[in-house]
Amino acid sequence: MSAAPTARHRRFLAQLAREHYVQGSSKVELGKAHGLSRFQIARLLQEAVDSGVVTISIEADATDEDGMAEQLAAALGLSSAIVVEDDNESDAAQRMGRAALSYVDRRARPGMRIGLAWSRTLDAAAEFAPALPRCTVVQLAGALQLGSHRPSSGIFARLGQDAAVTMVRLPAPLLVTEAETAADLSALPEISGALAAADDLDLAVISVAAWAEEQSSVWEKCSPEQRAAGVADGAVAEASGRLFNAAGADVDTIDDRVIAVTLDQLRNAATTVGVARGAQRAEAVRAACAAGILDVAIVDEALAREILDPAGSQSQTAAQITAQTEESP
C-alpha cells in the first residue's frame, strides 16, 4: 500500500486538479507549464482522485435532476442549496460531511478566512479534507464528549497538517457546566483570540440541529432542566450551541455556558453554509434561515422533501413503513 501524500504533494495535486478540472487546461498544457510529460500529468491527476484530493461527488449538485435544490433555495430564500442522496443510512454522515468539504474546496481562494464548526458530520469525513490554498481556518466551536466516546477533532487535525493552512484552534469544549467556568475560559488569550478570529469570515460551515431529543449534540449534554428551559424560552433549533426560535430570534437560555461562534458572527460572514440531515430538522432549517445565519444549505433528500412538501413527505414515509411491514415475515 502506497504512503499517503505529504501536505506539500497534496497542494501540488490540488493545483494540478484546479488547473485541469476548473480552469480547463489540457494535460499537454499542464506538462509544458510544470516540466512534466502528459503521461506524468495523467498519473498525478489519477493520484489526486485516488488519494481524495479530488472527489467526484454525484451526491451534491449533480443530483438535482428534478430541480429540487433550486426549488429548495427559492423556498428558503437562500443563494443556493445542495441536496445529497440518502440511499444508504450507514454512511450518511460521511456523505454529508464530504459534500460540505467539497463545497469548501470549490469556494476556497488564497487569503480567505474559513470558519468550521465542530460537528460529528464533518468529523466523519475528516479523511476527505481538501488540500486548500493558502488561507486561515478558524475553529468555530470545540468538540463535545458524548457518552463514553472521547471527543474527536479529526477534521482540524487533518487540516492543521497542511503548511498552507494557518489554523486557529479553539482549545475549549463547546459547552461547560457553569457560567463562571465559561467566562474564565473565554478570558484566556488563546480562547478569546480564537473567538475574535470569527469576526470577519469569508466562509463559514456549521451544522443546524433541532432543539429536541436525539436531534442535537448540545441537547444531549444539557440537563433535563436546561433542555426544558430552552423549550420554554421558545428554542426550536441550535447551531454550535446558540439557540434560536422559529422566527429566528436569539434564545439565550444557555448562552452563558457556550464557548463558540455567535449568531451575529455567522450573520456577518460573507457566506455561511448550514448542514442538516433528516426530515425532523425541517423546522430548524427554516428557523436558521429566518435568523439570517444561512446563505447555503446542504441537506439530504428526506429533509429537502419535508421542507418543500411536508404532506407528501409524510405520505411517502407512511408508505415506506407499510411496505416494510408487509415484507416482514
Q: What is the pLDDT of residue 99?
A: 93
Report the distance separating Cα 168 and Cα 218, nearest Å: 22
- pLDDT value at 62 more than 70: no
Report the distance separating Cα 301 and Cα 72, nearest Å: 11
- Residues 6+ away with beta carbon under 8 Å from 305: 68, 279, 312, 313, 316
132-161: average pLDDT: 81
Report the distance separating Cα 35 and Cα 38, nearest Å: 10
| CATH class held by domain 61-317 | alpha beta
- Residues 6+ away with beta carbon under 8 Å from 188: none
Return the higher-pLDDT residue of 263 and 324.
Answer: 263
Q: What is the pLDDT of residue 280?
A: 96
Report the distance separating Cα 26 and Cα 199, nearest Å: 40
Every domain range in the chain assigned CATH 3.40.50.1360:
61-317
- Residues 6+ away with beta carbon under 8 Å from 219: 209, 211, 212, 213, 227, 238
- pLDDT value at 329 more than 60: no
The SS3 of residue 201 is coil
Q: pLDDT digits over 192-248, tens only?
A: 999 999 999 999 999 999 999 999 999 999 999 999 999 999 999 999 999 999 999
Which helix or strand (DSSP H or E) is residue 196 part of?
helix 189-196
Residue showing cell 463514553? 148
Report the distance separating Cα 78 and Cα 196, nearest Å: 26
Residue 130: pLDDT band with limits 50, 70, 90: confident
Report the distance separating Cα 157 and Cα 118, nearest Å: 12
Report the distance separating Cα 48 and Cα 41, nearest Å: 10
Return the higher-pLDDT residue of 90 and 160.
Answer: 160
| CATH class held by domain 7-50 | mainly alpha
- Residues 6+ away with beta carbon under 8 Å from 46: none
Every domain range in the chain assigned CATH 1.10.10:
7-50
97-113: average pLDDT: 93
Report the distance separating Cα 259 and Cα 139, nearest Å: 11
- Residues 6+ away with beta carbon under 8 Å from 74: none
